[in-house]
Amino acid sequence: MKTVLCFGDSNTWGFIPESITSPFSERHAHDVRWTGVLARELGDGFHVIEEGQNGRTTVHDDPFAAARNGKTVLPALLESHKPLDLVVMMLGTNDLKAVFGVSPGEIASGVKVLAQMILSSDAGRNAKPPKLLILCPPAIGQMNHLPDIVARLPHAFKDSRELPRHYESLASSLGCAYLNTQTLISTGSDGIHLDASAHATLGKAVATVVKSLLPPDA
């Protein structure tokens, strides 16, 4: 049995785009989320752990929401779920918020901090590091119909489209696997989160990469 940890934010949690204006966040069903699709595509020989949190950042403390810093929680997750064969990480969207004031390149630097934590850990088999697959998050869509959200993410439409080149360069320098989700999927009605169709597409695409990284005889 191979174990895959999916570490991400609200698009790993399964936030339903249409609930962006609701009093509370609504969530896609387990089998609809890309992590659920991934588990189904991989089959019985794999255990997929879903670890998504709304608002999670790479390395930043959010002044308006507690416990969103990925750097803070990652060591505990690696420890509690080991031994891990692979970590699939998709973070960076929430770093686009104006409150953090960071550039696309600096967002990738935040991903690098987390990647190095994973690749230097003893969370894999025989106390070695697990493999790592970095996903560049989807591009932010138009949000003119959501002025309150635009105010928090004023440059996200442009800056999110600059992330792939930084993420790809980072993955290459670390020697880990990489997938640019922006070539595969688009965000839903709120411009941030994925609808059911995008989850299905992403889950299947990630499954293809995971199978290549963790073949049956590995």
Burial 136-147 (b: 16+ CB within 10 A, else e): bbbbbbebeebe
pLDDT interval class at 23 (50, 70, 90)? confident
* Phi–psi pair at 170, nearest 5 degrees: -65, -50
| Mean pLDDT, residues 3-23 | 96
Domain count, the chain: 1
Per DSSP, the three-state class of 166 is helix
Output the CA–CA distances (angstroms, integers) from residue 21 to 27, 46, 111, 147, 190, in the order listed. 14, 36, 29, 11, 9
4: left (phi over 0), alpha (psi -120 to 50) or beta: beta
Beta strand 177-180 with 131-136 is parallel
What's the whole-number average pLDDT of the chain? 96
Determine, yes or no, domain membership for 69. yes
pLDDT digits (tens, 9 = 90+) for 124-140: 999 999 999 999 999 99
Token pair belonging to 90: 């998709």
DSSP state at residue 167: H
Q: Say if residues 207 and 37 touch (Cβ distance below 8 Å).
A: yes
Determine, yes or no, domain membership for 218. no
Q: Report which of residues 23 and 26 the model is more confident about.
A: 26
What CATH number does residue 104 fall under?
3.40.50.1110
Determine, yes or no, domain membership for 158. yes
**Tell me, what's the pLDDT at 87?**
98
Structural domain for 121, as ranges: 2-213
Token pair belonging to 147: 């002025």
Least confident of 15-29, 78-92, 190-204: 15-29
Token pair belonging to 210: 């995971």
Q: Say if residues 116 and 109 touch (Cβ distance below 8 Å).
A: no
Q: Say if residues 95 and 57 touch (Cβ distance below 8 Å).
A: yes
Determine, yes or no, domain membership for 157. yes
Dist. CA 4–CA 107, nearest whole Å: 24
Dist. CA 172–CA 181, nearest whole Å: 16
Per DSSP, the three-state class of 199 is helix
